[in-house]
């Protein structure tokens, strides 16, 4: 009888061994779930970043097309600007110092939103950059266009930056794309 009991004990598992195996299994499954969730979040962030960069590049192309077609640049102070050197009833943007003449309040950064191919100036209150609202909303993204003077050659060159912001589980993000536009 003693021999039968010894064989049963040698071939079986103890309760402690079973608990250890279950604990190790739970840790492995939890690690796999965590890795999968992190991978999904990273792919979502990468997708949003790519979409924001695409929207920013599209914003630059809209501004470039506006310049080429002599689109309007509407200012909150009531003075309307255009891109051409000789526009009918509007002031050419090339003769303006953006940070002093167009931005509200001046001097500051000139934020615009795109509406039907034209630029519309946004008012900035306080030190909130970019403005908390007023940009062009595209799904979860908000697009702003920033016009700035080239410090040395402002009558011939303007710096254009498209800024796209969005928020997700990790906070607020932005994508910026810049170019220079010259007077045609």
pLDDT in tens, 17-75: 888 889 999 999 999 999 988 888 778 888 999 999 999 999 999 999 888 888 888 87
pTM for this structure?
Answer: 0.73
Q: Could you report the per-residue pLDDT of 104-123, keeping only the tens digit for each? A: 666 567 888 888 878 888 76
Cis preceding-peptide flag for 170 (omega within 30 of 0): no
3-state DSSP of 119-138: EEECCCCCCCCCCCCCCEEE
Closest CA to 111 of 83, 145, 79, 134: 145
């Amino acid at each position: 009888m003693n021999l039968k009991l010894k064989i049963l004990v040698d071939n079986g598992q103890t309760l402690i061994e079973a608990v250890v195996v279950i604990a190790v299994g739970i840790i492995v499954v939890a690690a796999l779930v965590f890795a999968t969730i992190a991978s999904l979040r990273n792919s979502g962030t990468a997708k949003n970043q790519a979409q924001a960069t695409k929207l920013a590049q599209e914003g630059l192309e809209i501004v470039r097309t506006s310049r080429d077609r002599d689109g309007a640049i509407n200012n909150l102070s009531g003075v309307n600007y255009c891109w051409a050197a000789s526009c009918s009833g509007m002031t050419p943007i090339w003769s303006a110092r953006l940070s002093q003449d167009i931005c509200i309040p001046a001097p500051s950064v000139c934020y615009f939103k795109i509406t039907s191919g034209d630029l519309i100036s946004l008012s900035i209150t306080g030190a909130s950059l970019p403005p908390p609202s007023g940009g062009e909303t595209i799904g979860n993204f908000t697009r702003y266009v920033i016009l700035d003077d080239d410090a040395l050659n402002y009558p011939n060159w303007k710096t254009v930056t498209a800024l796209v912001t969005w928020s997700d589980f990790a906070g607020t993000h932005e994508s910026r794309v810049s170019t220079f536009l010259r007077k045609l």
